[in-house]
Amino acid sequence: MQTAVSFVLDGRVVTVDFRAAGVRPTTTVLEYLRALPQHRGVKEGCAEGDCGACTVVLGELSGGGMRYSAVDSCLMFLPMLHGKHLITVENLKGADGSLHPVQQAMVQAHGSQCGFCTPGIVMSLFALYKNSTDVREDEIRRALAGNLCRCTGYRPIIDAALAACGPLRKDGEDWASAVALLRGIRKESLVIRTEGQLYHRPVTLEEALEVKRTRPDATVLNGATDVALRVTKKHELIPILLDLSGIEALRGAREEDRRGIISAGTPIEECAAFCRERFPAVAGMLEVFGSLQIRNLATVGGNLGTASPVGDLMPVLIAHGAEIQLSSSRGVRRVPASGFVVGYRRTVAADDELITAVVLPPVTPGTILKSYKVSRRRDLDIAAVSGGFRLRLERDNRIAEVVLAFGGMADRVRRAERAEAYLQGKTWERPVVEEAMRVLESEFSPISDVRGSARMRRIVARNLLLKFWDETRANGGGPCR
């Protein structure tokens, strides 16, 4: 059991004793870096993961090498760095002080004006440089969706990325040295006590379940992109935290008897990659889940655990007929996704249970699955209305099975059961769908808020059903999409 956090920064292992350093377990990586005299290139803009000015890159051991990912440092608590390589914009220069190829390309393409957002953009491009070869413009735009630039515009930045992120060249620093340093850090459980806070970061599921049993009031972290906002925006002092980010057994996705088994600690970006060919309706929703920096931190279990009425995953999981796996020291059980959330921010999980996996069943041949998200902007936004729909037709175009799950229309994600009952057994044609739209309009009582009025949400929900019909008539949308 350890009480201090160790990670690699500036080519050496840094150890932080929280009591001696005068920091809390919920001190963010951004706050920590800004307090260091040599790492103030990282900027605080929004402190909620929207602007990307605080982007850093994390290196993690993977096989015999390193896996790199861009993340928002404002959404990471300091203990989450344990056993990782933290790279900031100051670390990119060569031994002779020369600029990294990404930095040099930004200079040559005139990709910076005021410079506030530039370090974060450079770090996003650096992660792209490390992970890709000969990138396309759509990949660059995807990598930059979480970086806000209000004065330069993105054209010169994209030009810089196209110039720099061709065939990989040697980085300014020998990053392989970090692998040896990381291997020297013991991967042990952390228990950090400071005034008013207790932070658990176990490395085994068994230990996590024991903490949950004895500390049922602990706030569970599985990515922290939601919980971190309670600290950065509401300035809460969370007394007890259970951080699941150190449990390797909770990370990863696999196929088993044609089912998809996605562990709860799997980052959203990894989940999207797994689902892209196997469960494309899920992958389609995850493509508009936050930014790449957020998708690298946020996890499947974390998203479901928030029980948000506008959570991105739940509608499409309900449409798939997925199950949520819950574990405790008493055993393991699975509950249908449609019955997992029972009220506003409330689930069926017992006080001693943790979400450990999502199980996606195989798709019946001929079944059509689609997901939709309607928001004020395409990238990095919360849904006003979302939908996950499933349809299976008989040969005579009659509806054998239909599921219509909506987010943003009630206190939780819910199925439109009356509209489904009306459609069942009828012909999949426009007049029938238009009547189902009228049924749907009276089925929900949405609220008005900053993302949309109740009237707007009813109209959007109706139109999503019509869009679904238009895309799937005569099976034109293809199966499982």
**Interval 46-95: pLDDT, tens:** 999 999 999 999 999 988 788 999 999 999 999 999 999 999 999 998 88
Per-residue pLDDT at 48: 94
Q: Are strands 253-256 and 240-243 parallel, antiparallel or unpaired?
A: unpaired
Per-residue pLDDT at 272: 97
State the average pLDDT over residues 300-317: 97
433 pLDDT above the threshold of 80: yes
CATH topology of domain 4-90+176-243: Ubiquitin-like (UB roll) (3.10.20)
Per-residue pLDDT at 152: 85
Per-residue pLDDT at 147: 96
417 pLDDT above the threshold of 60: yes
Banded model confidence at residue 281, pLDDT cuts 50, 70, 90: very high
More confident residue, 413 or 174: 413
Q: Are strands 346-347 and 341-343 parallel, antiparallel or unpaired?
A: antiparallel
Per-residue pLDDT at 374: 97
Banded model confidence at residue 168, pLDDT cuts 50, 70, 90: low
Banded model confidence at residue 177, pLDDT cuts 50, 70, 90: confident
Banded model confidence at residue 1, pLDDT cuts 50, 70, 90: low
Q: Dihedrals φ, ψ of 229, to 5°?
A: -70, -25
Q: 4-90+176-243 and 251-475 share one CATH topology?
A: no
Per-residue pLDDT at 56: 98
- CATH of 99-164, picked from 3.30.1490.20, 4.10.640.10, 1.10.150.120, 1.10.10.10, is 1.10.150.120
State the average pLDDT over residues 330-349: 97
Mean pLDDT, the chain, whole residue set = 94
For the chain, give every domain's residue range. Answer: 4-90+176-243, 99-164, 251-475
CATH class of 251-475: alpha beta
